[in-house]
Chain A
């Protein structure tokens, strides 16, 4: 039988079995589709709800003494429905604000420097660590600002000064980013993290299933007795793990991209932002390449770790350090202003993640992309070679080796430890 045919038959068996395993279907297919869209929805719905609740609450404000000649100020406060003035300034106002019994204290003081007649200073005492107190401060400040603007306008008119002559600098903000640019920026910020986590989760259970799972079910020896080469068996298992990693990564990218707009809609409506969440068509090949490369690397790494496991539980604990290790660089990518530089293109996982992130935002640094592909393929080849070296040891294949990857490297590769080099444990 040709080797590729054996690989195909074994691969098909692995995939059919995996698609009937609830844990794998949930973690490699359903979680990538629903988890992050659901988390985003839950998070933004929560934010919107809390904001709504906070804005609906009346602010309890005490005013020390209204300034003379500013009757309109009291009316301005009275017109602000969300501000409830207390009858008098309570004793120990600062402590009461800290305790949350009062939200803000407003005191009117003489001006620090000479100015217009009737001018005054305002001191607003509040507790920034309490959201309700912060909101009270904002409402009070806004009311005073509105009153000041109207008062200055009146004063200018009595002095026959046109508003244009005394108005200060006007700041006009103009955002050159289009709604599409903003959407891509946001996607670029979130997708890489989701992407790596999902590819890793997609590979996790199949890697354990393909190695420790076989041993735990007692099917490992059955598989070793079929008329296929060890290389074909390992290749089929590797392709199976990589396929589920790829599947998870692709489904997650698609799900997050497609659901971003409806999920963020309530929040965007409130802020008045216009955002369009679409990925440029040119980015698709780069994203597909990124998914394939990352899944190929993660699958090889996880299988190498899981090769030593004899039970599902052992497999999970052996893979977890590798899983956490590949998530670390992605945290580093959240650093503001980080660019896809040539040195970064040499760092596994980071390079693929940066490549995908840049592609989502419509930026293509081809030299870095080229280096990323070459480096990733080299790392995958090294991992697959290392895995094949590990599987040359009979006791590892038969599951009678009792250590993990680190112990194996120490004993068999570096030649330190209890077992003589080349000696195999009992099967």
Chain B
């Protein structure tokens, strides 16, 4: 039986905020992802993308609902979930006092990659991401582009079947952002399941096999780009997004 890489059912997260009181950051969302697919979470800032992905990465505990990664429930088996998951975001920095090579070794080891194969894995990643000349240099001495390469390499160091990229191109220049998109595409081609969150329409258009539009903690549309075009009658993703969000607003405020 094939395991669904990512399955989300009625996932909900409430927060308490000083000024707003109880906030429903994520409000009963459902979706699932297939192997070798890039699933895009498209939403404005504060839509609930990061909270959703943090719950999938077991960094936050859901208030209610369920989610699983490779069949492991995020609430009951968080360590197993994390072993099968690579999590990358603009807020997951690297340890500045470790070298690139030490970083990969640490993340492969702590995420349960077979110890005997770690040295070979590290060298393979160093070559793949092209930082052999800098592999022995401390991370805090690396350029932004180099850090990004090491950061992606550490995300896949333990060869997880599911990868989460939460707004990975935030703060990157155009060339580095394109590099990032290229790597994500390659990972999909290797059979990885990738969840990719962004608020940049062109990225989602270019990369995602399916796109979920999330607004105010709820998913209002989830399909391939072609079907979204067909269902909304709009061609560009930006127009589709606006259409879906406005319709969601009408539903919320009749």
Q: Which residue of A lies closest to B109 (CB)?
A: A9
- In contact, A394 and B92 (Cβ under 8 angstroms): no
CB distance from A74 to the nearest CB of B (A): 77
C-alpha spacing A194/B215, complex, angstroms: 59
C-alpha spacing A218/B151, complex, angstroms: 13
C-alpha spacing A100/B46, complex, angstroms: 77
C-alpha spacing A16/B102, complex, angstroms: 10
0/1 interface trace, chain A 216-245, chain B, CB 8 Å (1 if under): 011101101111110000000000000000
Residues of chain B contacted by A423 (CB below 8 angstroms): 16, 22
Q: Which residue of B lies closest to A229 (CB)?
A: B79
CB distance from A83 to the nearest CB of B (A): 65
0/1 interface trace, chain B 51-80, chain A, CB 8 Å (1 if under): 100100111110000000000000000111
Interface size on A, residues (CB 8 A): 30
Interface bracket on B: 35 or more
CB distance from B113 to the nearest CB of A (A): 10
C-alpha spacing A21/B98, complex, angstroms: 11
- In contact, A221 and B79 (Cβ under 8 angstroms): no
Q: Which residue of B lies closest to A21 (CB)?
A: B97
- In contact, B94 and A427 (Cβ under 8 angstroms): no
0/1 interface trace, chain B 87-125, chain A, CB 8 Å (1 if under): 101011111111000100011011110000000000000
Q: Given the known inter-chain contacts A20-B97, A221-B91, A426-B23, please indicate yes or no for A418 contacting B111, CB distance below 8 A.
A: no
Q: Given the known inter-chain contacts A221-B89, A227-B82, A228-B110, please indicate yes or no for A17 contacting B95, CB distance below 8 A.
A: yes
- In contact, A219 and B95 (Cβ under 8 angstroms): yes
Judge if A10 is at the interface, Cβ distance under 8 Å: yes
Judge if A398 is at the interface, Cβ distance under 8 Å: yes
Partner of A13, one of B16, B96, B106: B106
Q: Given the known inter-chain contacts A218-B92, A221-B91, A420-B16, please indicate yes or no for A227 contacting B111, CB distance below 8 A.
A: yes
- In contact, B15 and A425 (Cβ under 8 angstroms): yes
Residues of chain A contacted by B98 (CB below 8 angstroms): 13, 16-17
Q: Given the known inter-chain contacts A17-B97, A221-B92, A427-B15, please indicate yes or no for A227 contacting B79, CB distance below 8 A.
A: yes
Judge if B187 is at the interface, Cβ distance under 8 Å: no
Judge if B234 is at the interface, Cβ distance under 8 Å: no
Partner of B59, one of A1, A227, A398: A398
C-alpha spacing A228/B158, complex, angstroms: 13
C-alpha spacing A21/B140, complex, angstroms: 12
Judge if A365 is at the interface, Cβ distance under 8 Å: no
Partner of B83, one of A21, A217, A227, A424: A227
- In contact, B85 and A225 (Cβ under 8 angstroms): yes
CB distance from A197 to the nearest CB of B (A): 27
Partner of A1, one of B54, B58, B85, B112: B112
Judge if B184 is at the interface, Cβ distance under 8 Å: no
- In contact, B95 and A419 (Cβ under 8 angstroms): no
Partner of A222, one of B61, B78, B93, B97: B93
C-alpha spacing A217/B139, complex, angstroms: 12
Q: Which residue of A lies closest to B138 (CB)?
A: A20
- In contact, B94 and A219 (Cβ under 8 angstroms): yes
Judge if B18 is at the interface, Cβ distance under 8 Å: yes
C-alpha spacing A425/B107, complex, angstroms: 29
Judge if A6 is at the interface, Cβ distance under 8 Å: yes
Partner of A419, one of B16, B57, B91: B16
Residues of chain A contacted by B94 (CB below 8 angstroms): 219, 222
CB distance from B56 to the nearest CB of A (A): 10
- In contact, B87 and A227 (Cβ under 8 angstroms): no
Q: Given the known inter-chain contacts A9-B110, A425-B15, A425-B16, please indicate yes or no for A222 contacting B83, CB distance below 8 A.
A: no
In the complex, 18 of the A-B residue pairs with CB atoms within 8 angstroms, ordered by the A residue number, are: A1-B79, A10-B110, A17-B97, A219-B93, A221-B91, A222-B95, A225-B59, A225-B82, A225-B87, A227-B83, A227-B110, A228-B110, A394-B60, A420-B16, A424-B16, A425-B18, A426-B16, A426-B25
Known: A20-B97, A219-B95, A225-B92. 19 other contacts (CB 8 A): A1-B83, A9-B109, A13-B95, A16-B98, A17-B95, A17-B98, A221-B59, A222-B94, A225-B87, A226-B111, A227-B79, A227-B82, A227-B112, A227-B158, A398-B60, A419-B16, A420-B16, A423-B22, A427-B15
Cβ-closest 7 pairs across A and B? A218-B93, A423-B16, A227-B83, A225-B87, A227-B82, A222-B92, A426-B15
A residues whose Cβ falls under 8 Å from a Cβ of B: 1, 6, 9-10, 13, 16-17, 20-21, 217-219, 221-222, 224-229, 394, 398, 418-420, 423-427
